[in-house]
Chains A and B, each alone.
With several copies, the nearest count.
Chain A
């Protein structure tokens, strides 16, 4: 037999779990401390947002909510690599990248709080971003479509889309990779490999050694990175975006992390998570490691940490207040955005809903 094609999957890590720079050839971001502080702050913000959302849910003021605890480097990292004019097509645990790309935290809360206005992103940057796709993996195809539109119009814009490692088992994910490959689309597929799909671990999700290699089935580029290493996530995202922006086509970036929380507020991971996993996981999580790196480089102090935390707490609290102060939408809002113009047949129902709502 002759070998007719060869492939390999590469792995990138710069910062190890102790925040030490392992890699000699560190990218420019490793010395861009202002940017790194911004990214660190981004992670802290998302963690605080998740904490608050959880608390709201526990007190009956929030619906089911999926925290991203432990995976903050992924969404914050690739979100920061996006330009304003790029488009985000998030997955449901995508609050980190969403907030990085301009979605307001109160919008995230409104969405999970059961209000459609949470997907009516007000920030100009996010105006073209997709709302969360709850049906797993469908977003991958929407991302390809957005990228196709950009490509047809000759725009230098890039689409980022995220998916869980469990979501990669869906046909939609693969179909998206395939079409992105054949059309050479400007899209970056981020796989958030947090090692769990609700209660299903990777061992029973796929026989693949890596999720990155799924790109090979579509003939597109891929890389696996330490998803708890902000430097690796950010740099890989930047590289992929740059490539896509310049006509180099799609990339799959697998970011390995660990879900350090329940799947959602509706879940109880103690039913299935092996003993010790959380303890081990917390030792590798992304925030401490970046903080240690900043500290080792004399770029961060306890005072700065305290000041930042205070700021963040206030910022999130403001969003929570805005969320809580948003009155429930009107009954007629159920109808007013269904079509550009409500069909004759449904007008009477709209009236009925208003009348019933008024009671």
Chain B
């Protein structure tokens, strides 16, 4: 058992499963000798050979399309998109094919595949490297969109993603790739997809987040506690399909909800969560549903990215506004 980072956990999960399941193949740009630009696939080629850990030509539509073909043959491709900002050339394959193959063939062809991509801001990356566009894929029925917030979850959820019989978009919040370490036993135990984690119990307000923003959210809960406000904290983890029941249960208890996300506010995953609460638990609400978000503007280049991203104090502020709402 070793203390490892989120990205090492992703790597460990892949190595674990590749050992057991010969159908798993890893491919993408620079995933081979180089081990991925963030080293997510570090050592995998050395261990499993260039046949199973494949450097591809530079073409994302190709990566997704080829993964679909392989998966339809029963292989289990793990395709890496180098940064989520470069997933769009593959959008047609993901939306028009990945999400639909099982349904349109009535279960004859299925696509047990994973598309991994680092995402989100905060690491001073160049343009197009820092966006949070999970909402786009979360809107597509037939996909699962999973976002781990810490090393243990990365390990368990990645295992589940690889074992899932359907396509999973696995988004890795790169800002927290190396922010903390967890002791992880490489025992192959997965965390179920499609399930929220309640990370902290509380009674006054429910804070709902996922991915990197979980860190700010948990810190905010801590600060709120110091001010006598008891926040329940939920890590959504699978942003689609949403485990809305866990969220509703919490909100029914606390009567207040605040969603924290890095993406621009309009039409984001947070809107979906808020809408579900507004439809199904409004009678339990004692205050407006808050959303602490990125702004509805382009993710700025890195000199301004701190100005763009939600901070602990913004969450605290909004949570207090909601709790104090009369």
Contact = CB atoms under 8 A, between A and B. Distances in A.
A135 B86 contact: yes
Given A64-B126, A120-B106, A339-B102, A334 B304 contact: yes
Nearest to B193: A343
Contact of B58 (A133, A167, A345): A167
Contact of A179 (B59, B244, B307): B59
Interface string A50-66: 00000000000001100
A135 B51 contact: no
A189 to B, nearest CB: 13
A339 B166 contact: yes
B106 A149 contact: no
Given A152-B25, A171-B61, A199 B32 contact: yes
Interface in B211-266: 241-245, 265-266
Contacts of B64: 141
B321 to A, nearest CB: 13
Contacts of A146: 69-70, 72-73
A16 B37 CA distance: 36
B32 to A, nearest CB: 7
Contacts of B70: 145-146, 148-149
A121 interface: yes
Question: Among A119, A131, A343, which residue has the most Cβ atoms of chain B within 10 A?
Answer: A343
* Chain B binding surface SS class: loop
Contacts of B141: 338, 346
A338 B30 contact: no
A329 B303 contact: yes
B308 A144 contact: no
A179 B57 CA distance: 7
Nearest to B34: A199
A331 interface: yes
20 contacts: A115-B301, A120-B106, A135-B89, A141-B93, A145-B77, A148-B69, A166-B57, A198-B29, A199-B34, A334-B307, A337-B102, A337-B106, A338-B298, A339-B142, A340-B166, A343-B194, A344-B243, A345-B241, A345-B243, A346-B241
Interface of A: 63-64, 87, 89, 92, 111-121, 127-128, 130-136, 138, 140-150, 152, 166-167, 169-172, 175-176, 178-179, 182, 197-200, 204-206, 266-267, 271-272, 328-329, 331, 333-335, 337-340, 343-346, 349-350, 352-353, 356-357
